[in-house]
Structure 1
Amino acid sequence: MRFSVASASIDEREIETELLTVDPNRAALARELAEAKTVAVSARTPRAWVIGADQTLDFEGRGFHKPTDRAEAAERLMAMAGKAHQLHSGVALARDGAIVWSAVETATLRFKSFSRQTLETVLDLEGEAILASVAAYRLEGPSIRLFEAIEGDYFTILGLPLLPLLEALERHAPQLLEASR
């Protein structure tokens, strides 16, 4: 089975602005962004099965984008210390420019209270990788030491709800899973 990785040429901020004006639900936004990316790539790759995903963060009714620098990441993480937030991960499956299936899964994560010194140590260990995450942390990295509790699927937290996706592939494109065995 062959696969490739492709970027979607969509204006995420425009979609976000339009959708959040009508519906402030960040879970719906994660699904919408995943669908838009998937359709954009699928439209230019006829007959291919395309999987797309996106993730949004909801902290006390506010959303965030990837931090632009370490200072912004530190400020955000200090604001969330001792509090919970939700990660919404949308995933979509498309073929020939049309959505075949989509879903969104949510995980709730609670930071423990931590000092600025602890945070700086974590940021030193994480390095530039911290800037690639909407949440400004990597659960699979040194950032794990900042957490008190996690409710939800690990793959959802990483940004791809894998279990629902595998179920959808079994239902809609079983030949893809057979080819990978």
Structure 2
Amino acid sequence: MSVVLASASPRRRALVAALGVPFEADPADVDEASDERDPVRLAEALALSKARAVAARRPGDVVIGSDTVVALEGRLLGKPGDAAEARAMLHALRGRAHEVVTGVAVVVAGRHVEAVSHQRTAVVMRAYTDAECEEFIARGEPFDKAGGYAIQDAVFRPVARIDGCECGVIGLPLWTLRQCLAEAGVETGMPALDRCAVCPARD
């Protein structure tokens, strides 16, 4: 039995590695288009869809799926398709509060195991400048990220404050993932990240 991450995201790979569990990445190829407007239901549904897609070809393996949704005053922000869309997202988020919801699913096809959960985090953006937005876009950073930004970007540093799980904003809430893995019979160590020691999600 192998632990498999159904994602090509380097950020999610680094987060799973922090649990100290050997794993491999096998990205899911699923249609993320949806009419669902509730961020929790959407994040959980997409995470489960990704995990199921990979589990179907890997019976017996423990497959992790995850999806992140950014919600700004009832509007859901996905990954920007081009520079104009990234610019519009970053301008809309600037200086304002929004919510990041990351869904997590762990599926074992051969054992009929499906554990699904989510983590919600409130995020407040700082009042970054147009020039800072343009530099971030020019580096090609927004296009694989929900909402078009990365909380951990050391140059742009778009976030002023978070209330909740920082790993959830990056793309995979580790305390939530540990709970889902435990339901699948996989025990992990404590997350080897300083931010996880003080994460409110651990309670």
TM range (shorter): 0.7 to 0.9
Q: CA deviation at 1:118?
A: 3.2
Greater percentage in helix: 1
How far apart in 1 are the matches of 2:89 and 2:142?
12
> Shift in Å at residue 144 of structure 1?
5.3
The structural deviation recorded for 1:63 is 1.0
SS in 1 for 2:28: coil
Task: Write the deviation string for residues 101-127 of structure 1: whole angstroms up to 9, x where unpaired.
Answer: 110101111112233123334444xx1
Does residue 90 in structure 1 map to residue 110 in structure 2?
no
Residue 134 of structure 2 aligns with which residue?
120
TM-score (norm: length of structure 2) = 0.74
Matched, 1:33 2:46: yes
Distance 1:115 1:144, change over 3 A: closer
Q: Secondary structure at the match of 2:104?
A: strand
1:81 positional shift? 1.2
Query: Deviating runs (4+, > 4 A) in structure 1?
Result: none
**1: distance between equivalents of 2:128 and 2:79?**
21
TM-score normalised to the size of structure 1? 0.82
Check if 1:66 corresponds to 2:79: yes
The 2-side partners of 1:168 and 1:115 are apart by: 40
Q: Mind listing any 5+ residue stretches in structure 2 that lack a counterpart?
A: 3-21, 190-203
Distance change in 2, residues 1:142/1:122 (3 Å): farther
| 1:44 aligned partner, one-letter code | R
RMSD of the TM alignment (CA)? 2.1
How far apart are 1:173 and its partner, in Å?
1.5
SS in 2 for 1:165: helix
State how far apart, in whole Å, the 1-side matches of 2:25 and 2:52 are: 14
Larger radius of gyration: 1
C-alpha deviations, 1:58-111, integer Å up to 9, x for none? 111111221122232122111221211111100101111644211010111111
How far residue 133 of structure 1 moved from its aligned partner, in angstroms, is 0.5
Q: Is the 8 A contact 2:99 2:120 kept in 1?
A: yes
Alignment pair present for 1:139 and 2:151: yes
Distance 1:172 1:52, change over 3 A: same
- What letter matches 2:80 in structure 1? P
Task: Give the 3-state SS of the residue equivalent to 2:24 in structure 1.
Answer: coil
